[in-house]
Amino acid sequence: MGLKKDLLKGIYSQGYDKPAGCQTSVIPSLIEGRDAICQAQSGMGKTASFCISILQRLDLQNPDCKALVLAPTRELAEQVKLKLLNLKLVSIRILTFPFW
Protein backbone atom coordinates (compact mmCIF):
# COMPACT_ATOMS: atom_id res chain seq x y z
CA MET A 1 0.00 0.00 0.00
CA GLY A 2 3.03 2.27 0.09
CA LEU A 3 2.60 3.42 3.70
CA LYS A 4 5.09 5.65 5.52
CA LYS A 5 7.77 3.77 7.48
CA ASP A 6 6.82 5.39 10.80
CA LEU A 7 3.19 4.50 10.21
CA LEU A 8 4.11 0.89 9.42
CA LYS A 9 6.03 0.70 12.70
CA GLY A 10 2.95 1.93 14.54
CA ILE A 11 0.76 -0.59 12.73
CA TYR A 12 3.09 -3.48 13.55
CA SER A 13 3.38 -2.32 17.18
CA GLN A 14 -0.39 -2.76 17.48
CA GLY A 15 -0.21 -6.38 16.37
CA TYR A 16 -1.37 -5.92 12.79
CA ASP A 17 0.60 -7.98 10.28
CA LYS A 18 -1.60 -7.90 7.19
CA PRO A 19 -4.74 -6.05 6.11
CA ALA A 20 -8.00 -7.65 7.17
CA GLY A 21 -11.30 -7.81 5.33
CA CYS A 22 -12.28 -4.58 3.67
CA GLN A 23 -8.99 -2.84 4.60
CA THR A 24 -7.29 -3.92 1.36
CA SER A 25 -9.70 -1.87 -0.73
CA VAL A 26 -10.75 0.85 1.73
CA ILE A 27 -7.33 2.12 2.85
CA PRO A 28 -5.99 2.82 -0.68
CA SER A 29 -9.26 4.52 -1.66
CA LEU A 30 -9.18 6.79 1.39
CA ILE A 31 -5.50 7.60 0.93
CA GLU A 32 -6.29 8.72 -2.63
CA GLY A 33 -8.96 11.03 -1.20
CA ARG A 34 -11.95 9.07 -2.43
CA ASP A 35 -15.03 8.21 -0.42
CA ALA A 36 -15.37 4.64 0.77
CA ILE A 37 -17.88 2.51 2.60
CA CYS A 38 -16.81 -0.40 4.75
CA GLN A 39 -19.44 -2.54 6.42
CA ALA A 40 -18.10 -5.27 8.67
CA GLN A 41 -18.63 -6.86 12.05
CA SER A 42 -17.18 -5.36 15.20
CA GLY A 43 -13.44 -5.84 15.53
CA MET A 44 -12.74 -6.20 11.80
CA GLY A 45 -10.54 -3.09 11.50
CA LYS A 46 -12.89 -0.38 10.28
CA THR A 47 -11.55 2.24 12.71
CA ALA A 48 -7.95 1.25 11.94
CA SER A 49 -8.65 1.66 8.20
CA PHE A 50 -9.96 5.15 8.76
CA CYS A 51 -7.09 6.14 11.09
CA ILE A 52 -4.32 4.65 8.93
CA SER A 53 -5.63 6.65 5.98
CA ILE A 54 -5.64 9.88 7.99
CA LEU A 55 -2.12 9.34 9.32
CA GLN A 56 -0.80 8.46 5.85
CA ARG A 57 -2.14 11.69 4.37
CA LEU A 58 -0.83 14.03 7.08
CA ASP A 59 1.46 16.85 6.00
CA LEU A 60 3.42 17.54 9.17
CA GLN A 61 5.12 20.58 7.63
CA ASN A 62 1.81 22.44 7.45
CA PRO A 63 0.78 23.86 10.88
CA ASP A 64 -2.92 24.05 10.01
CA CYS A 65 -5.60 21.58 11.08
CA LYS A 66 -4.87 18.22 9.48
CA ALA A 67 -8.12 16.33 9.90
CA LEU A 68 -11.55 16.75 11.35
CA VAL A 69 -13.25 13.60 12.55
CA LEU A 70 -16.93 13.67 13.38
CA ALA A 71 -18.37 10.73 15.29
CA PRO A 72 -22.01 10.15 16.23
CA THR A 73 -21.19 9.20 19.85
CA ARG A 74 -18.64 10.22 22.46
CA GLU A 75 -17.61 6.57 22.80
CA LEU A 76 -16.80 6.24 19.09
CA ALA A 77 -14.93 9.57 19.14
CA GLU A 78 -12.76 8.27 22.01
CA GLN A 79 -12.19 4.99 20.14
CA VAL A 80 -10.97 6.90 17.07
CA LYS A 81 -8.75 9.15 19.20
CA LEU A 82 -7.15 6.18 20.96
CA LYS A 83 -6.57 4.35 17.68
CA LEU A 84 -4.87 7.43 16.20
CA LEU A 85 -2.68 7.79 19.29
CA ASN A 86 -1.75 4.10 19.26
CA LEU A 87 -0.87 4.01 15.56
CA LYS A 88 1.19 7.17 15.38
CA LEU A 89 4.88 7.20 16.16
CA VAL A 90 5.56 10.81 15.26
CA SER A 91 4.82 13.65 17.63
CA ILE A 92 1.47 14.99 16.55
CA ARG A 93 -1.12 16.66 18.71
CA ILE A 94 -4.59 15.17 18.73
CA LEU A 95 -7.37 17.27 20.21
CA THR A 96 -10.92 16.18 20.88
CA PHE A 97 -13.89 18.40 21.48
CA PRO A 98 -17.06 16.58 22.49
CA PHE A 99 -20.25 18.51 21.82
CA TRP A 100 -23.90 17.65 21.54
- pLDDT number for residue 58: 86
Task: Report the alpha-carbon distance of residue 89 to residue 66 in Å, rounded.
Answer: 16
CATH number of the domain to which 47 belongs: 3.40.50.300
In terms of Cβ atoms closer than 10 Å to its own Cβ (0-12, 13-18, 19+), residue 54 is buried
The answer to whether position 98 is within a domain reads no
Confirm whether 11 is domain-assigned.
Answer: yes
77 pLDDT band, cuts 50/70/90, is: confident
Gyration radius from the chain CA atoms: 13
- In angstroms, rounded to a whole number, what is the distance separating the alpha carbons of residues 7 and 52? 8
Statement: residue 98 has pLDDT above 70: no
Give 31-62 pLDDT, tens digit per residue.
999 998 888 888 888 888 989 999 999 887 88
**pTM: predicted TM-score of the whole model, two decimal places:** 0.83
Residues 5-22 have pLDDT tens digits of 888 988 998 888 888 888
Range of the domain at 61: 5-87
| Contact predicate 49/26, CB 8 Å | yes
Residue 53 lies in a domain: yes
